[in-house]
Chain A
């Protein structure tokens, strides 16, 4: 069924694909970024285990080629979030570009060390450990830990943080795959017909996703709901009540949003 491209696909099937695409996009927008949540858990755990002052994860930003700190934990961690450094800059850059894990004491002795991170954050670490985040085929970023409470970092600490880094890399990989709706749709189509050509699958996926963001007001609505993640519980309860009131008001005449009589479905 897939082979001939969208012309051979029934309009019903294409409508289903479009529905999957819309629901997938909605889920992505509504769900608080699961990848970031997991990365945050990893840096939290790292700080806890080492009683460290900070732990952070910097990821490669494909567009700019730079490393961007995306999550951090610990008393001294937060100021680095959002900061960007060059891919070979400083210890994090070295670890990222060579794949070598490093622990060091007194990194501030390095005259260039403070220029970008310590100067901006106002914090000069006494010890530092950095390991690459690698997914088996490439380096995705760097996990850094600063100032373990009980003395300098050991080679066993490098092993432990390496295990955390592997978790983080796996999370990023899985999440990137799940998030890519085009890839999910293509997987569905291929599982339905494994003899389908790549070109035919591409054409169908494009047809299904082409008008995904056509209804701007719908996406504005989804995005508004997504912002409710960040409000207080009482505000969220208020929002739920408001939505419920609007829903009751809309259906008071016995019709739902499609205009059909609800009573017919009961």
Chain B
């Protein structure tokens, strides 16, 4: 199978391309199954860097333990408690619901990076990652990215720090075909695009960079504001599926490094072609 058969960049994982993803050697499909897939996320904290999370939404299962936000002033930022918490859009609650569905025992922390006046958004993302690294968070979901060239070096440095601090940063690939967005294009994050198989446990590994994994992101029933549920499509709903699976993996193997975690994930992938 030639590499042309693989999804390029953030392309959807289409039926005809999934066949090309069959792996050989120790990663072949009939090798023994991954035991960690049955873990519950117990003992794992997942940070959701997004629009905030509605902790009262039934889909979040009361697992939201803390709400933070990034405060930007005069070109610098600080992560502070988000008094009152909540979600300003609905998107963060959608991600939290997906993660909770896959890892019901994992604890969730929200870091809201959307501010009504939208000052220094890329910088807010960077401060949120920095907080996750500093607090040794095992899994962080970032269904967002920045195109700011000015922050390229900052993000590059931060995701390397995260990698060496055993913090798995799960990033949705930008839907902008072929354009770089940070930090999803860096090799030390876990980047995710969408497929359309309606199953949260079906996921793919794509050996052709930059996007490594494909998870359900088409017509996904997700939690939204005010206890509501909607049907949504986008790579930003694929990423939390992988974040939820990584919470299971980290629950079974707390000491797995990002390299090992990615390898185990790739090993368990591609079963639902």
CA distance A93 to B117 in the complex (A): 11
Selected from B12, B89, B177, B196, the residue in CB contact (under 8 A) with A90 is B89
A156 within 8 A of partner (CB): yes
Q: List 23 A-B contacts (CB under 8 A).
A: A65-B117, A86-B116, A88-B51, A88-B89, A90-B89, A98-B236, A99-B174, A100-B172, A101-B175, A101-B234, A102-B233, A106-B231, A107-B230, A110-B224, A111-B225, A132-B176, A136-B179, A138-B148, A152-B233, A155-B194, A158-B175, A159-B12, A159-B175
**CA of A90 to CA of B224, assembled, Å:** 12
Contact between chains at B231 and A111 (CB < 8 Å): no
Whether, in the assembled complex, A43 has its beta carbon less than 8 Å from a beta carbon of chain B, the answer is no
B147→A109 contact, CB < 8 A: no
Q: Is the CB of A162 within 8 A of B143?
A: no
Counting chain A CB atoms within 10 Å of each CB, the highest count among B144, B217, B234 belongs to B234
- Interface status of B79 (Cβ within 8 A of chain A): no
Interface residues of A in 137-165 (CB under 8 A from B): 137-139, 152-156, 158-159, 162-163
Contact of B117 among A87, A158, A162 (CB under 8 A): A87
One of A88, A99, A106, A136 near B118 (C-beta < 8 A): A88
| Contact across chains for B234 and A100 when beta carbons are under 8 A apart | yes
Taking the closest CB of chain B, its distance from the CB of A128, in whole angstroms, is 10
Residue from the list B148, B181, B224 in contact with A109, Cβ < 8 A: B224
Q: Are B219 and A162 in contact (CB under 8 A)?
A: no
Name the CB-closest residue of A to B182.
A99
Name the 10 nearest CB pairs between A and B, nearest first.
A98-B144, A87-B118, A101-B175, A103-B233, A105-B231, A111-B226, A109-B228, A104-B232, A100-B236, A102-B234
- Alpha-carbon gap, A112 to B227, bound state (A): 12
B42 beta carbon closer than 8 Å to chain A: no
Which of B145, B179, B231 sits near A100, CB closer than 8 Å?
A: B145
Main secondary structure of the interface of B (DSSP, over half): loop
State whether the Cβ of B241 lies closer than 8 Å to any Cβ in chain A: no
**CB <8 Å contact, B224 and A156:** no
Q: Are A99 and B233 in contact (CB under 8 A)?
A: no
**CB < 8 Å: which of B88, B148, B172, B234 contacts A88?**
B88
B233 touches A158 (CB 8 A): yes
CB-CB contacts below 8 Å: B75-109 with A: 88-91
| Given A87-B117, A109-B229, A162-B176, A138 and B144 contact (CB-CB distance below 8 Å) | no
Tell me whether A99 and B146 are in contact (CB under 8 A).
yes
B23 at the interface (CB under 8 A from A): no
Establish whether residues B225 and A110, one from each chain, have CB atoms under 8 Å apart when the complex forms. Answer: yes
A106-B233 in contact (CB<8A): no
**B191 at interface by CB-CB < 8 Å:** no
Contacts of A107 on B, CB cut-off 8 Å? 230
Q: Check: B29 CB closer than 8 A to any chain A CB.
A: no
Please determine whether B143 and A98 come into contact, CB atoms closer than 8 angstroms.
Answer: yes
**B contacts with A, residue count (CB < 8 A):** 44
CB interface residues, A 54-70, toward B, < 8 Å = 65
Question: Is B233 touching A134 in the complex (CB atoms < 8 A)?
Answer: no
Q: In the complex, what distance in Å separates the CA atom of A162 from the CA atom of B90? A: 23
Interface set, chain A 151-194, CB cutoff 8 A to B: 152-156, 158-159, 162-163, 166
Other-chain residue from A88, A90, A100, A131 in contact with B143 (beta carbon distance below 8 A): A100
B243 to A: closest C-beta gap in Å:
15
The verdict on B149 contacting chain A, using a C-beta distance below 8 Å, is yes
B132-175 vs A, CB cutoff 8 Å, 1 = contact: the mask equals 00000000000111111100000000000000000000001011
Residue of A nearest to B228 (CB): A109
A65 partner residues in chain B, CB cutoff 8 A: 117-118
Contact B231 A104 (CB under 8 A): yes
Total CB contacts across the A-B interface at under 8 A: 130
Known: A136-B179, A156-B12, A162-B175. A99 touches B147 (CB 8 A): yes
* Residues in A lying within 8 Å of B, measured CB to CB: 65, 86-91, 93-94, 97-107, 109-112, 131-132, 134, 136-139, 152-156, 158-159, 162-163, 166
B115 at the A interface (CB under 8 A): yes
Q: Known pairs A94-B114, A103-B234. 20 more at Cβ < 8 A? A: A87-B118, A88-B51, A88-B89, A88-B114, A94-B89, A98-B91, A98-B121, A99-B144, A100-B144, A100-B172, A100-B175, A102-B233, A103-B233, A105-B230, A106-B231, A136-B147, A138-B147, A152-B231, A155-B233, A159-B11
Complex Cα distance, B115 from A204, in Å, reads 42
Interface readout for B225-267 with A: 1 if CB under 8 Å, 0 if not? 1101111111110000000000000000000000000000000
Q: Are B177 and A134 in contact (CB under 8 A)?
A: no
Contacts of B175 in A (CB 8 A): 100-101, 131, 158-159, 162
* Cβ of A3 to closest chain B Cβ, rounded Å: 31
When A105-B231, A111-B226 are in contact, do A97 and B114 touch as well, CB less than 8 Å? yes
**Chain B nearest CB, measured from A121 CB (Å):** 20
Instruction: Tell me whether B37 is interfacial, beta carbon within 8 Å.
Output: no
Could you tell me the distance in whole angstroms from the C-beta of A98 to the nearest C-beta in chain B?
A: 4
Known A-B contacts A103-B233, A109-B224; the reply to A137 vs B149 at CB < 8 A is yes
